Structure 1
Amino acid sequence: MQPDVNATKTRHLIWSVARKELTLFFASPVAWLFLASFAAVELFVFFWGEAFFARNIADVRPLFSWMPLLLLFLTSALTMKVWSEERRSGTLEAVLTQGSPVWHFVLGKFLGCFVLLLLALLITLPLPVTVALLAELDWGPVMAGYLASVLLGSCYLAIGLFVSARSDNQIVSLLLSIAVCGALYLVGHPLITGLFSQSVASYLNFIGTGSRFDAITRGVLDFRDLYYYLALVLTFLVLNVYVLEKERFSSRLSNSARQWQWLSTVAVLNLLLANLWLGQLTQLRYDSTAGKQYSLSEATQQQLQSLTEPLLIRGYFSGQTHPLLAPLVPQLQDLLKEYQISGGNKVRVEWIDPTTEPELEQEANQRFNITPVPFQIADRYQSSIVSSYFNLVIQYGSEYQVLGFRELIDVKSRGENDLEVLLRNPELDITRAVKKVQQDYYAGHDLFAAVTEPVSLKLYWSDDPQLPAELKSFATQLQQSAEQLAKTAEGKFSVQRLDPDADSALKDNLQQELGLSKVKLDPFAAEGFWFSMQLQQGSQQLALTLDDFSVESFERQLKAGISRLSGHGTKTVALVTPQGSGGYGYPANEFSGLNALLADNFNVEPEDLTDGKVSAKADVLFVMAPENLSQTQLFAVDQFLMQGGTVLMATSPFKASLSRENLAVRPYQSGLNQWLEQYGVQQNSTLLLDPQHAALPVPVTRQAGGFTFQDMRLLDYPWFADIRQDGMAELPLFSQLPQLVVPWASPFDIQTKEHIKATPLLQSSKGSWLTAQSTVMPTLDSSGQVSYPSGDTSGAQTLAVMLEGQFKSWFSGKASPLQAQKTNEAKDEAKNAAPEQSNTSTELYPVLEQANAGARLILFGSNDMFSDAVSQLVGGAQGSEYLNNLQLLANTVDWATADPALLDIRARGQFNRTLPPLDRAEQQFLEYLNYALVLALILCIALIQRWLQRRRLQQLYRVVAAQ
């Protein structure tokens, strides 16, 4: 029982010392100044210094951005008199002469300061709660940020107590504590590390408290960082105990003094040197972020496990680079370590500074076409230009891909000279590159390497007697070519020829399920023949069409079809954009941003549809702002859909025209109205305005001092509907996309059609309204107020819809426009040609009358939703590059092609979570509410402290009365 009694006495003494310190703190202005100053500075930093509302990101990073410096000064002020006052007043001798160990008093005083630190952090809780009520807040980094603040504050407290024990002057203790804590913080700060090479900077980051703090506040709880702070706290507490114990010893007890010195030295060395051993343990970490942004996803791990050849990931990074890029290098190093661990012996990671290795620099220049990028940097003495490398090379076999800093980073502007540079989504970029080089490697070596389920080619052809003479030999050549390919497929590919006329059940199935029908060389012929080709893998069906009447075309389409079914090879997007100069202030490349983003992820095939066909390589078809589509162009879209493809269209009766002087919309005819109506979709000539909207940056001219200035002003712009999660369908293509902007939208009216399922994808808010007015330029009155077209609230409107089911072709029962065009051309030629020169065409013009399974039609009710102009306008208002709308299209490709691997990690970027639209009054209310809540919490602490004080006095009175 004796150990339990001693433990109880120890806890009682420690808590008594802590309670005494807290009583002294709250009895003087020190505690209240500490809490009030801490709260005031944090609120100022959050709402003013970091411009929370202008920043427009739903996180609380501004709360922790200045936390290290703030804790540095406030904890030093808190501890400066803890031991110094004891020494100055002479009470330290009473402490040292007591029978209890000194470490009880040291730990008690530390605990008292620690409780005050926790109270200071507690009063900041209204800030994350407010953000969580406004938008979807990732609580993982918030909790990690508070943990980092507790650890760093504890470290500062331990240092402050140690310094205070060495001096009897409070001011000296304050200055020394600030100096020691500040030195540890600055060691790992970019201000210092930027002066050294990358290797030296990594060691400085290892030592500095600031770099560890930043790592934890990202949401990554690394045991090495946690132990680092714990070791510092224990080290300075041990030194504190040693300093005080040393004063207890007289000269006749020198052996005890030396023993304490030896024990303290061993303890401190073990605590500090353990960091070197733990530095090798990279797996002891926990990613607390939603979606595990800083950990490898399951999709990446599966991709690495599928490697059959060694994968090399080589980083080319200069030791001296731009200060904003330098902190990103260690983050990439940590991430690549995860790739190496997950890939095992299949993945090799190398880290090279080309400026120190000329041979490797020459290889980078000549083989990978990597050249250094000039950056302007400045130090305290001069401004200079430094050419540095910031590249990754992913190599698989002979295939490789290079990633530069433009592909890896995101830049957010918080002011004219205030930029925030972060890694955009490094896992997506690297995994996508790994996937691409692996697919390219297989494509160049083995078509069937990635085929996991057998593929069969069904040749639905009439018997030779029913085939035209011109097709008999051609059909034989095609069948022989397919059978030759099957011999090399090792059982993964087979060929089967079937005559539908000989099997009535097969014939009915082809006509009813696949929409296939007989082909006629002559549209006026009474009877046709079967000549259709279908690739089949499991339940997937894919129709094969020929670009031209040749064996080479057949082989090309066959291999492309096998790749599509097996998911083998990089996905291909057929992209249709407006042709010509654009007119009305629009450039010819108004969708260049979309083109660039798709090109980074997929193969992009530009299409104009004028030949009536879509590339056989295409996995999906994107049609942006279609205008006056001809029957031939519509036929190409229609037949791609009938083949079971996914067609995405951005269409509206209006199109915006933007110039420096004016903003307007003009009527715009797509040529799709009748085609869409057969599927139950109508789009009226109205524009939607939504009270939940994004802002529009508008230049405003002002006069001052006889000079004319032009400023950018953010205006509420209800034509930019701001769609949040509650307005999006629960589908994977919206994976982790918290917000979208639909500009100048015309909603869809959906009518139920048999065998067609319509799913609304995007819906406006319930307070939206419609107008037929085409004036979209904000009008400012003399008082600077903006007016908008009025209208009755129409409720939530469908701005995007997806159609699925058994689509019937618009050309069902009609001759192919290609055949009609060819017939007309042949007639014209026949009029001018001698009879002996005429011949019969052998070109085929089949019409698929019903869609294959898996066909999807996705419609967005805006011509400009994915244009460069909208990305620039919305990005200008938010101070960063706006990619959400474009990211949706990349998600659509992965989802439509049943390739969820990259979809799971595609939207794990840094600036995804945004605030909902708030007007100035709402922003001020929330800001003042936080001031009031923080003040209320301080008053609550004061009331609780007063109640505890009265309770202790009452207990004391009862004890005295009892005696």
Structure 2
Amino acid sequence: GYLAALLLASSYIAIGLFLSSRTDNQLVALIGTAFVCGLFQAIGSPVVTDLFGATTGDLLRQFGAGSRFESIERGVVDFRDLIYYTSLTVFFLALNIVSLDSKRWSKGAHLRSHRLNGRVSLALVGLNLLALNLLLAPVSAARLDLTQYNEYSLSDVTRNLLADLGEPLLIRGYFSEDSHPALAPLVPRIKDSLREYQLAADGRLELEFVDPLTDPEMEREANQIHGIRPSPLQVTDRGGVSLVNVYFDLLIAYGDQTASLNFSELIDVVDTPLGVEVRLRNLEYDLTSAIQRVVYGFQSLEAILAALEQPAQLTLYQSSATMPEWMAEVSQTIVDVAQEIADANPDKVSFALVDMSAGDVAITEEELLERYQIQPVATSFFAAETFYLHLVIEAGADIQVIYPGGELSQAEIRSAIESSLKRSSSGFLKVVGLWTPPPAGADQFGRQMPSLQQYSILEDSLRENYELRRVTLEEGQLATDIDVLILLAPHGLTDNQRYALDQYIMRGGSVIAAAGHYRLGIDPYLGTLKLDVNENGIEEMLQSYGIDVGDSVVMDLQNAPFPVQVQRDVGDMVVSEIQAINYPFFADVRADKLDADNPVVNSLQLLTMSWASPVTVDETLLPDAQVSTLIRSSDNAWETTNTNPEPDLQTYPDFGFPIGDPLESIPLAVAVEASFESYFRDKPSPFETAEAAEVDEPAAGDEERATEPIGLIERSPDNTRIIVLGSAEFVNDTVYQISASFGGDRFLSNLQLIANAVDWFTEDVSLASIRSRGSTARILPPIHETAQNQWVLINYAVAIIGLVLIAVIWQMQRRAEQPIQLIAPAGADIALSPDETVSTDEPADAGKGGA
């Protein structure tokens, strides 16, 4: 901002000097300077550019001093802006020089050539400066990004992604010439950024810009093939209110994969004291994530193997002597699929079959347990015999294990192998499973109960970067290709569902459990908010793993606002109005309470944990675990069992609730990497009852036979990861609506937390480094009211002391000044001393007479 102000001031001073040289009247010079400077300021402003199309408006912005000022003010020093202001300064200084010099020119013919040379030189200076600006107009890479997080420069993540492109990438921008006035200024910035992408791709990126409204064939392709359609937007101008159909979309195509971004996915609308401001949300993250999505989605098995740094070794450990007969077909299918993959890619894959029943096995059961954390599985719940049927995939130092499970077809086994290979390399679309609470049932009168357990915004956010699948866990097992499982407010689970979750973890699956003790609900009689206990959830299971979710709610003096309806007396009337109050249930967590060493949270500036429960780890159960306390409350938090979320402002006017004791920092989320023991190890399996009760055998002619249950996996691998969050409401749609009324930055950070966690699980944290760039406001550190008053007093004191110092220094300088020695008038014999004065009362010739 200071550099921009300096450059703008130099240009305006040069303009003022020139106009001052053209008149002796100071007022005329001032008015002329203000007019010319205002002209340069207005030429690129929306007041003028909105009168023209996108192309003409962009050209006018290139000539506007104000638009150039905004470019530097945002933190980017563009070489073109420096040249622009330098050109203005040099040109008007040249005008000033010629103007002053022309005052010495006579009108005679003998100085005609001198006058002509001066004017020609001035014209050449102006034309050369104009040519220089036009020549540099397309050069967008010559700039210096001075923002804290380099928000306007391509990150290494983007450059590496573009450098690894194996096929041509197409990015096509659909922009209407007659656009909305708020969107038109953003188009040049998008085009400049896309040209940077094109340069970084080194010829592998094809860039196109089209206006579908002027190209019917291109519009038909956009509508029918890519699903891109114009957005009707309301425009208010001097002619009234009208609707305009606007294209403001980006298409990204790679192979047979495509993705599109419309204006709602690219911009943020922010309310400011000066009105509504439309700005780009986080252009690099939106573009890079879309490119990653299409690139990772266009991958074959050959591409997966080519991405491996070292050849993969597939080893099937089985026990042919004790294996159930109905598992023999599964074993043979695994052998066939693995051998087929190895034969097709001999340089990248090798396959081996190890029969643990044979006597000359090169590896023992103890070595299998120590090296791969795999144990034999019971043939059934009532049998003492065990067997191995574990496919181990080794790619360098990375080890993946596919455990036995049900009737696996060739397609399922191939998918499981490919998913394991993808986890061993980077550059592939990850699969995220999502469990959300089922819809609320009907009340006693048969009416559908309203439910606040909606998470559609989080789902849409996850779909932008991952393949999202809804799961129910009701079948007692999860698909083998799910990389990460997310549980939101788990409650009302059956034993089958808990068993599926437990065995997924025992197989080394990664889980994000937003599992607070309470969830948000509605009182059916009063229609007000209430907190319901998450009964039949996973708290007991987590406790067996060594992770404890408390049965209380955390309240914090450092909190986010909450809108409530309050009654206010106005004379003889009572007025109801909505006010934002301090709400201790919304813990405001800043960066100093986030784990700076964990990539899940170290790029975030703030979070809001709503109705969160404390989360702790029992280190006696997990002595060798790697534990990270991701989120902690402020030091002024306490726990309560009060489940009434409605504040009582009459009794407690400051916070609406009584302040508890003691006040301390409370952990709200943890990440644990360890080997966990199965929750069902010493408990009857939910399948035992079903198996014992089953008396009828399937008919001989049935094409499908019942899948027999597999024995329990008792312990997970050492690198199994679990993240437990003390709240699911912090990503709830209802909470988003509340947050949006005060600005949605807090909720966006909550969504970024979940995405960062998925990346951490899949060991692909590259996007996390740019996910939060420019997407959230820079929040100032919270200051208590006492500290605020202190700073106000300090500001006043500094200002008053400064004025006093200036007055004292001025007085001291005035007293220290020596009077100027006056020189005697012409003809005087002596010089006047500093104390003598010349009398003006005597006649002017009195001195002559005396002489």
Same fold (TM over 0.5): yes
Quote the residue 1:133 is aligned against: none
Equivalents in 2 of 1:615, 1:189: separation in Å?
A: 56
Matching of residue 390 in structure 1 with residue 248 in structure 2: yes
Matching of residue 746 in structure 1 with residue 606 in structure 2: no
- Could you tell me which amino acid in structure 2 is paired with residue 909 of structure 1? G
State the secondary structure of the residue aligned to 1:678.
helix
CA deviation after TM superposition for structure 1 residue 213, in Å: 0.9
State the secondary structure of the residue aligned to 1:780.
coil
Q: Is the 8 A contact 2:169 2:204 kept in 1?
A: yes
CA deviation after TM superposition for structure 1 residue 151, in Å: 0.9
- Cα distance 1:233–1:483, how it changes in 2: closer, same or farther (>3 A)? same
Q: Is the 8 A contact 1:580 1:588 kept in 2?
A: no
Q: Is the 8 A contact 2:79 2:142 kept in 1?
A: yes
Q: Is the 8 A contact 2:315 2:354 kept in 1?
A: yes
- Cα distance 1:453–1:954, how it changes in 2: closer, same or farther (>3 A)? farther
- Cα distance 1:940–1:452, how it changes in 2: closer, same or farther (>3 A)? farther
Q: Is the 8 A contact 1:411 1:880 kept in 2?
A: no
- Cα distance 1:166–1:927, how it changes in 2: closer, same or farther (>3 A)? farther
Quote the residue 1:727 is aligned against: 593
Matching of residue 458 in structure 1 with residue 315 in structure 2: yes
- Cα distance 1:477–1:614, how it changes in 2: closer, same or farther (>3 A)? closer
Quote the residue 1:891 is aligned against: 756
Quote the residue 1:563 is aligned against: 422
State the secondary structure of the residue aligned to 1:666.
strand
Equivalents in 2 of 1:266, 1:751: separation in Å?
A: 80
Quote the residue 1:823 is aligned against: 691
Quote the residue 1:467 is aligned against: 323
CA deviation after TM superposition for structure 1 residue 891, in Å: 0.9
- Could you tell me which amino acid in structure 2 is paired with residue 326 of structure 1? A
Matching of residue 399 in structure 1 with residue 263 in structure 2: no
Equivalents in 1 of 2:56, 2:637: separation in Å?
A: 57
* Alignment deviations for residues 32-80 of structure 1 (CA, whole Å, 9 cap, x no partner): xxxxxxxxxxxxxxxxxxxxxxxxxxxxxxxxxxxxxxxxxxxxxxxxx
Q: Say which of 520, 523, 529 aligns to 1:656.
A: 520
Quote the residue 1:737 is aligned against: 604
Higher helix share: 1
Equivalents in 1 of 2:175, 2:790: separation in Å?
A: 47
Quote the residue 1:510 is aligned against: 368
Q: Is the 8 A contact 1:654 1:665 kept in 2?
A: yes
Matching of residue 146 in structure 1 with residue 2 in structure 2: yes
Q: Is the 8 A contact 2:270 2:276 kept in 1?
A: yes
Q: Is the 8 A contact 2:14 2:93 kept in 1?
A: yes
Matching of residue 641 in structure 1 with residue 641 in structure 2: no
* Alignment deviations for residues 78-98 of structure 1 (CA, whole Å, 9 cap, x no partner): xxxxxxxxxxxxxxxxxxxxx
Which sections of structure 2, spanning at least 5 residues, go unmatched? 444-448, 824-831, 836-851
CA deviation after TM superposition for structure 1 residue 766, in Å: 1.4
* Alignment deviations for residues 283-309 of structure 1 (CA, whole Å, 9 cap, x no partner): 211111122111110010010010121
Quote the residue 1:600 is aligned against: 464
* Alignment deviations for residues 421-479 of structure 1 (CA, whole Å, 9 cap, x no partner): 2111111111111111112222498553433332232211013x443333334422320
Q: Is the 8 A contact 1:514 1:850 kept in 2?
A: no
Q: Is the 8 A contact 1:651 1:670 kept in 2?
A: no
- Cα distance 1:933–1:439, how it changes in 2: closer, same or farther (>3 A)? same
- Could you tell me which amino acid in structure 1 is paired with residue 7 of structure 2? L
CA deviation after TM superposition for structure 1 residue 925, in Å: 6.5
Equivalents in 2 of 1:220, 1:665: separation in Å?
A: 48
Query: More relative contact order in 1 or in 2 (CA 8 Å, sep 6+)?
Result: 1
- Cα distance 1:647–1:880, how it changes in 2: closer, same or farther (>3 A)? closer
Matches within 5 A, 1:480-499: 480-499=336-355
* Alignment deviations for residues 118-162 of structure 1 (CA, whole Å, 9 cap, x no partner): xxxxxxxxxxxxxxxxxxxxxxxxxxx111111112212221222
Matching of residue 684 in structure 1 with residue 550 in structure 2: yes
Quote the residue 1:535 is aligned against: 393
Q: Say which of 345, 363, 367 aligns to 2:225.
A: 367
TM-score (norm 1): 0.78
Equivalents in 1 of 2:753, 2:705: separation in Å?
A: 48
Matching of residue 617 in structure 1 with residue 486 in structure 2: no
Matching of residue 294 in structure 1 with residue 161 in structure 2: no
State the secondary structure of the residue aligned to 2:141.
coil
Quote the residue 1:159 is aligned against: 15
- Cα distance 1:567–1:824, how it changes in 2: closer, same or farther (>3 A)? farther
- Could you tell me which amino acid in structure 2 is paired with residue 887 of structure 1? Q
- Cα distance 1:674–1:663, how it changes in 2: closer, same or farther (>3 A)? closer
Quote the residue 2:38 is aligned against: 182
- Cα distance 1:301–1:840, how it changes in 2: closer, same or farther (>3 A)? closer
* Alignment deviations for residues 185-204 of structure 1 (CA, whole Å, 9 cap, x no partner): 11111221122111111211
- Cα distance 1:270–1:935, how it changes in 2: closer, same or farther (>3 A)? farther
Equivalents in 1 of 2:200, 2:700: separation in Å?
A: 73
Please say which of residues 364-373 and 501-510 is displaced more in the overlay. 501-510
Matches within 5 A, 1:11-50: none
Q: Is the 8 A contact 1:702 1:709 kept in 2?
A: yes
Q: Is the 8 A contact 1:653 1:667 kept in 2?
A: yes
* Alignment deviations for residues 477-533 of structure 1 (CA, whole Å, 9 cap, x no partner): 320121112222342222221133544853113334544332333433332222222
CA deviation after TM superposition for structure 1 residue 812, in Å: 3.1
Quote the residue 2:437 is aligned against: 578
CA deviation after TM superposition for structure 1 residue 246, in Å: 1.0
State the secondary structure of the residue aligned to 1:283.
coil
Q: Say which of 679, 687, 709 aligns to 1:810.
A: 679
CA deviation after TM superposition for structure 1 residue 570, in Å: 1.1
State the secondary structure of the residue aligned to 1:251.
coil
Please say which of residues 864-873 and 659-668 is displaced more in the overlay. 659-668
- Could you tell me which amino acid in structure 2 is paired with residue 347 of structure 1? L
State the secondary structure of the residue aligned to 1:262.
helix
Q: Is the 8 A contact 2:232 2:245 kept in 1?
A: yes
Please say which of residues 425-434 and 555-564 is displaced more in the overlay. 555-564
State the secondary structure of the residue aligned to 1:491.
coil
Please say which of residues 361-370 and 255-264 is displaced more in the overlay. 255-264
Coordinate RMSD, CA, aligned: 3.2
Q: Is the 8 A contact 1:696 1:714 kept in 2?
A: yes
State the secondary structure of the residue aligned to 2:221.
helix
State the secondary structure of the residue aligned to 1:448.
helix
- Cα distance 1:447–1:231, how it changes in 2: closer, same or farther (>3 A)? same
Quote the residue 1:440 is aligned against: 297
Quote the residue 1:429 is aligned against: 286
Quote the residue 1:24 is aligned against: none
- Cα distance 1:910–1:184, how it changes in 2: closer, same or farther (>3 A)? farther
Matching of residue 906 in structure 1 with residue 765 in structure 2: no
Matching of residue 770 in structure 1 with residue 639 in structure 2: yes
Q: Is the 8 A contact 1:316 1:352 kept in 2?
A: yes
- Cα distance 1:954–1:479, how it changes in 2: closer, same or farther (>3 A)? farther
Equivalents in 2 of 1:880, 1:549: separation in Å?
A: 45
State the secondary structure of the residue aligned to 1:865.
helix
- Could you tell me which amino acid in structure 2 is paired with residue 863 of structure 1? A
- Cα distance 1:866–1:834, how it changes in 2: closer, same or farther (>3 A)? closer
Equivalents in 2 of 1:910, 1:943: separation in Å?
A: 49
- Cα distance 1:727–1:536, how it changes in 2: closer, same or farther (>3 A)? same
State the secondary structure of the residue aligned to 2:103.
helix
Equivalents in 1 of 2:810, 2:189: separation in Å?
A: 44
Q: Is the 8 A contact 1:453 1:538 kept in 2?
A: yes
Quote the residue 1:199 is aligned against: 55
Matching of residue 263 in structure 1 with residue 131 in structure 2: no
CA deviation after TM superposition for structure 1 residue 408, in Å: 0.9
Equivalents in 2 of 1:841, 1:400: separation in Å?
A: 41
Please say which of residues 221-230 and 634-643 is displaced more in the overlay. 634-643
Q: Say which of 751, 755, 770 aligns to 2:624.
A: 755
Quote the residue 1:693 is aligned against: 559
Q: Say which of 651, 660, 669 aligns to 1:791.
A: 660
Equivalents in 1 of 2:94, 2:722: separation in Å?
A: 70
Quote the residue 1:134 is aligned against: none
Q: Is the 8 A contact 2:179 2:246 kept in 1?
A: yes
- Cα distance 1:332–1:241, how it changes in 2: closer, same or farther (>3 A)? same
